[in-house]
Amino acid sequence: MSQRRGYFEDYDFDSVLGDVQQWYHIPILVVMLGFMLWVRVQNWSNFVRDGSVIFSGNDAWYHYRQVSYVVDNFPGTMPFDPFTYFPYGTASGQFGTLFDQLIATAALIVGLGNPSEQTVAMTLLIAPAVVGTLVAIPVYFAGKRLGGRFGGLVSVLILALSTGSFLSRSLVGFSDHHVAEVLFQMLAVLGVMVALSVAEEEMPVWELVVNREWEALRRPFGWAALAGVAMALYVWVWPPGVLFVGIFGIFLLVQLNVDYLSGRSPEHVAFVGVVALVVAGLLSFVPFSTLEITAVDFTLVQPLLAFTVAASAVFMAWLARKVDDSDLDPRAYPLIVFGTLGAVGLLSALLTPELFGYVVDNTQRFIGLGGGAQAQTVGEAQSMSLGQLLPMLLGNYGLAWFGAFAAILVILARQIRGTERRAETLFVVVWTVILLLATLTQVRFGYYLTLPVVVLNAYLIALVAKYVSSGASLQEIETFQVLTVLAVLLLIVAPMAVPITQGSSTAMATGNQTAPGSGTVGWADSLEWMESNTPAPGTYGGADNEMQLNGTFPRQDDYDYPEGAYGVMSWWDYGHWITQRSGRIPNANPFQQGATDAADFLLAPNEERAEEVIGNVSEDDAETRYVVVDWKMVNTYSRLSRGKFFAPTVFNDTTSQSDYYEPVGRQTQRGLTLGYNLKSQRYYESMVNRLWHYHGSAKEPSPVAINYDERPRGDGTSLKVVPAGDQEPYRWFNSVDQAREYVEEDGTAQVGGVGPHPPEAVSALEHYRLVQRSNTSALQLGSPYVRGFQQERNVLAGGTRDLRNSTGQDILNLQRLLFGQNAATPPWTKVFERVPGATIEGTGPANQTVYASVSMQMGSGNATFQYTQQAQTGADGEFTMTVPYSTTGYDQYGPENGYTDTAVEAEGAYSISTGQQFDGSEVYTHNTTAEVTEGQVVGEDDSPVTVELERTTLREVQQPDGNETSGNETSGNETSGDGTSGDGSTDGNQTDGSTNTTDGQSALAEPASDTGVLAP
């Protein structure tokens, strides 16, 4: 016992406390880093399906392309990519940068120099989580500079618990360059902070340079050069990172004026600015790729801006001496500085208006508090109002945002009073303000805003600890002092661990919910089908010029595609998927290249206009051959169900949203809200709807009228609203004529305009055929598809009336309205091929409409649709029509000989007929059948299909004695031309051409939020 007592008596507890005080931060930091990594990778298995890696979003797939190229061509990045933006190709710009080289390096290390495709994909999958975790290291050191080691740990703790865009972009699967931007910007900030601190200690001046006193300049020059290297690395990761040079320039403008007016020499800080910016400018030439003036590629913009800001710092340091030598009032210095800045700007606007306009436009784009209309179609580029800012700050950072705001006020107050003289603190304030403006301008920059928020809290915590402890040592600190600091810390971080705002989440919960986006999965089988069942680029039509997906192509302005290459038309969102996942060449991509052409095609009011657009995006020997559309592209409910139809209207110069649909309001307890969108004829005539709804078939209007009331507005216009009461705001009639009579008498109603029902007839397409529909249902991957339809359903069923009390006929009528007569389960995507089409020539009765119809089977399952084309016979009874669907000969054509192995095949021959007629004794028609070969449709066989219509008696009619008939009992056309009766009992098409809309049983089984379910 005495020996034990002696042991403890000899033990140096003061030494232990000293060790704890010196090393406690390391295990804590390691634990927090481990927590951050676990949060980000915990759901990695959700992104591996059947052995294949699936990334989130769009850009990650293009990074996968770039990383794969670097692995094969290490360390070179892809100089030019002809597998996107057909028929021009493009340079990768901000893709194929240091970020992709780092990921490729990691894959090469993991794969021992020869990584498999799976290894490359898995490395890229995990990369954002690892990079996001590494951000904590420079954050710790920056926080340590402002608030000591404890302050650095607080910064990392807040970073680990924060949610919002920084977390979402650093989760496994979100393999974009955003998280690397955050890491390298934080390194650049840390480098500048250290360089400024060293310069204030060493006080370098011009005389030291002139006298070549290198030893005195070694530390400030070395740290400033490292800051410049960090800036350059940031730009190497993301060329628009030249924004940081602008931030540093604004800081220099402010700090040098503050230094001079405070009686300090501005040369110390100017020295840092000049050295760092010259180094950054020189290193910006390393990845230099083009003389074009653009910030999204490695151009002259990056080095020129760096050298310009450096020269400005030299000028301001020189001017300070001149003002001193002239014995001018010190206040003259800022007047001269800002006057010179204004004069230079004016001269630039006069002498180089294009360059000046470019600078102004990009400044507004980054910090102008509002983007253009086209930028607003990009989720991450949308602006944020001040009213949205506070909920975002509370949701992402709890009360940590308040701590950052308080720290800014303290720093500014102490700078004004002269008690805070460190330039690095003012730099952090300037950095924070610019990033806040950037976040308000584009919500994507919210992932940057996380950095100053967490770093500034270190400053605040250090102030609290300082005033509470009053400089006491660790052994002397009282319990109440520790509790005070912990209480402040708890106040800051507790709301992040237990969310205090509605809809917010914790970091752990957010990480646990991550999974590939539904669209990423929804497009998968169509893209896989295209890869296997369409010819490789360069082989279309039997050409022998196959292009290699990962080949090396020299940089050029306009790529000359070989014969047999082709483009794939779709909305720009999906371009990278088409490139990487199907190996095909999109006309438009998420760089927004080709977006206007895509919009013009999708919204084209007829096939002639669509072909003009296709001609503009084709070459003589390389044309656009396929079109891929999904349900989002025809969905007008952008907020409710993530529809995208509104987006092309922003890029199209000839129309606007109001030309396609109008909102119909619905009165609720919370006021007037959106009831549904009433579509116009222009909506149904757009190419994207002709393809999606009708698969290129002709479509007759349905005998349904949509009723609404009009509420006058103060500007002289009126707003459409759902009729008051429980009356159903739609009515079915026995014929379209009856529906039109009702509309004319009512005054506030419209034929069709909901679901697949156009107000007027829509003509058939001649050169576009459906070749594949996704096996993935739009209903399988969540509820976005159904959400808009549910709202329409609830409103059109009679406002708030509970559908469970509806009769069976009510439900059938409503289903028929929203989804068509025989709607099938909606697919996620549909693929169409642009073909020459087959010519059908024939003879029949003079001056009659001839209809050609064929039933098409859409791959697996029982989904079918009816394609109908029509033509008019002349006085000689002859007619000609072009049809895009074949009925036979499919096995003779496929990818091996340059054509499509179509998954959509005819169930039989074309039925060609005129309308029913009556001659007084019998009802008859002229009809025949015809087979159309695949060779005739794809242009390998130019011979027309010739037919002769023969009279066929449908039924005899015996007339009562003494009773005369009109001679045309059925008005010359008792049918709608596709085998359905003309009394409006069906939608004018046996399968309605609307297989995209939801099955009455599967879609309407989704419970509505306020009306229960609508059973079939």
**pLDDT tens-digit readout, 541-584:** 999 999 999 999 988 888 999 999 999 999 999 999 999 999 99
Q: Please enumerate in sequence order all residues whose Cβ is within 8 A of that of 64, keeping only pairs 6 or more positions apart, or say none.
A: 55, 120, 121, 124, 175, 580
Mean pLDDT for the chain?
85
**In angstroms, rounded to a whole number, what is the distance separating the alpha carbons of residues 804 and 1014?**
7
Q: Return the bridge partners of 772, or none.
A: 831
Q: How confident is the model at residue 1005 (pLDDT cuts 50, 70, 90)?
A: very low
CA dihedral 891, 892, 897, 899 (to 10 degrees): -70
**pLDDT tens track for 659-677:** 999 999 887 777 788 888 9
**% of residues, the chain, pLDDT over 90:** 61
Handedness of CA 651, 656, 660, 665 (dihedral sign): positive
Task: Reduce the DSSP state of residue 717 to 3 states and report it.
Answer: coil
Instruction: Say if strands 838-843 and 945-948 run parallel, antiparallel, or are unpaired.
Output: parallel
Q: Which carries the bigger pLDDT value, residue 776 or residue 430?
A: 430
Q: Is the pLDDT of residue 183 over 90?
A: yes
Q: How confident is the model at residue 357 (pLDDT cuts 50, 70, 90)?
A: confident
- pLDDT at residue 623, rounded to an integer: 97
- pLDDT at residue 583, rounded to an integer: 97
Average pLDDT over residues 629-650: 87
What is the Rg, in whole angstroms, of the alpha carbon atoms belonging to the chain?
Answer: 35
Q: Which carries the bigger pLDDT value, residue 907 or residue 489?
A: 907
- Predicted structure pTM score: 0.87
DSSP state of 53: E
**In angstroms, rounded to a whole number, what is the distance separating the alpha carbons of residues 924 and 579?**
54
- pLDDT at residue 452, rounded to an integer: 97
Q: Is the pLDDT of residue 710 over 80?
A: yes
Instruction: Say if strands 829-834 and 768-773 run parallel, antiparallel, or are unpaired.
Output: antiparallel
Number of other CB atoms surrounding residue 760 within 10 Å: 14
Instruction: Say if strands 623-630 and 566-569 run parallel, antiparallel, or are unpaired.
Output: parallel
Q: How confident is the model at residue 821 (pLDDT cuts 50, 70, 90)?
A: low
Burial class (CB in 10 A: 0-12, 13-18, 19+), 33: middle
Residue identified by tokens 């066929």 is: 952
- pLDDT at residue 729, rounded to an integer: 83
Q: Which carries the bigger pLDDT value, residue 471 or residue 316?
A: 316
Three-state SS sequence of 188-229: HHHHHHHHHHHHHHHCCCHHHHHCCCHHHHHHHHHHHHHHHH
Average pLDDT over residues 124-144: 97
Three-state SS sequence of 298-355: CCCHHHHHHHHHHHHHHHHHHHHHHHHHCCCCCCHHHHHHHHHHHHHHHHHHHHCHHH
**What are the structure tokens assigned to 209, written together?**
């340079």
HSE-up of 402 (CA within 13 Å, CB side)?
12
- pLDDT at residue 782, rounded to an integer: 56
- pLDDT at residue 819, rounded to an integer: 67
Q: Please enumerate in sequence order all residues whose Cβ is within 8 A of that of 829, keeping only pairs 6 or more positions apart, or say none.
A: 522, 523, 526, 628, 629, 630, 631, 773, 774, 776
**In angstroms, rounded to a whole number, what is the distance separating the alpha carbons of residues 124 and 79?**
21
Q: Return the bridge partners of 661, or none.
A: 679
Q: Please enumerate in sequence order all residues whose Cβ is within 8 A of that of 217, keeping only pairs 6 or more positions apart, or say none.
A: 202, 204, 208, 209
**In angstroms, rounded to a whole number, what is the distance separating the alpha carbons of residues 316 and 266?**
8
Q: Is the pLDDT of residue 278 over 70?
A: yes
Number of other CB atoms surrounding residue 16 within 10 Å: 10
Cβ pair 658, 679 in contact under 8 A: no
**In angstroms, rounded to a whole number, what is the distance separating the alpha carbons of residues 146 and 449?**
17
CA dihedral 928, 934, 936, 939 (to 10 degrees): 160
Number of other CB atoms surrounding residue 875 within 10 Å: 7
- pLDDT at residue 910, rounded to an integer: 98
What are the CB-based long-range contacts (under 8 Å, 24+) for 287-293? 287/97, 287/98, 287/236, 289/79, 289/91, 289/555, 290/91, 290/555, 293/355, 293/358
Q: Which carries the bigger pLDDT value, residue 715 or residue 210?
A: 210
**pLDDT tens track for 214-233:** 999 999 999 999 999 999 99
**pLDDT tens track for 743-768:** 999 999 999 998 899 999 999 999 99
- pLDDT at residue 490, rounded to an integer: 74
Number of other CB atoms surrounding residue 500 within 10 Å: 12
Q: Which carries the bigger pLDDT value, residue 16 or residue 882?
A: 882
From its phi and psi, is residue 298 left (phi > 0), alpha (psi between -120 and 50) or beta? Answer: beta
Q: Please enumerate in sequence order all residues whose Cβ is within 8 A of that of 813, keeping only pairs 6 or more positions apart, or say none.
A: 732
Q: Return the bridge partners of 926, or none.
A: 951
Average pLDDT over residues 926-953: 96
Q: Is the pLDDT of residue 15 over 80?
A: no
